[in-house]
Amino acid sequence: MASPLIELNIVSPNQPVFKGMVQSLVVKGSEGELGVQYGHAPLLASIKPSMLRYTNESGNDEAVYVAGGIVEIQPNQVNVMADVAARGEQIDREKAQKAKESAKTRLAECDVKKFLAIELELMKATAQLQVADHYKKKG
């Protein structure tokens, strides 16, 4: 017997990114990864720039880049309000790779004040590359 599905809604300020039923999802919260399946306890958490992974109704793994935001978890529904969100086909992999390399270089040369801002840029670029690579493997 198949497990019950969860309604997943991913939105960014500019556009809805995904709305559909999923088997499960994993998102990186401020305190670590959150794995969510049907019946999860209600939770509201901030999310870090990362690759949000979910398994769709058919059992296929999908991924979306999220650049921070909020996740609201209910027993049968998850709402992700992302600062920025993009599917794999929307990510310019070359641009993300350059951003990652630039952030790594600047991180090695920066003072403490700039460290957190550059570290955030590095997390965003790395997450974009993960989603782009996930999309490319499927295609």
Which pLDDT value is given to residue 23? 97
Which helix (H) or strand (E) segment holds residue 116: the answer is helix 112-138
Buried b (16+ CB within 10 A) or exposed e, 19-32: eeebbbbebbbeee
Q: Where are the domains of the chain?
A: 6-88, 92-138
pLDDT score of 1 more than 60:
no
Q: Is 5 left (phi over 0), alpha (psi -120 to 50) or beta?
A: beta
User: What does the pLDDT look like over 12-33, one tens digit per residue?
Assistant: 998 899 999 999 999 999 889 9
Fold adopted by 92-138:
1.20.5
Which pLDDT value is given to residue 33? 94
Residues near 53 by Cβ (< 8 Å), separated by ≥ 6?
25, 26, 27, 61, 62, 63, 134
Which pLDDT value is given to residue 55? 96
CB 23 within 8 A of CB 62: no
User: What does the pLDDT look like over 54-93, one tens digit per residue?
Assistant: 999 999 999 999 999 999 999 999 999 999 999 988 888 9
Is domain 6-88 classified as CATH 3.30.70.1230? no
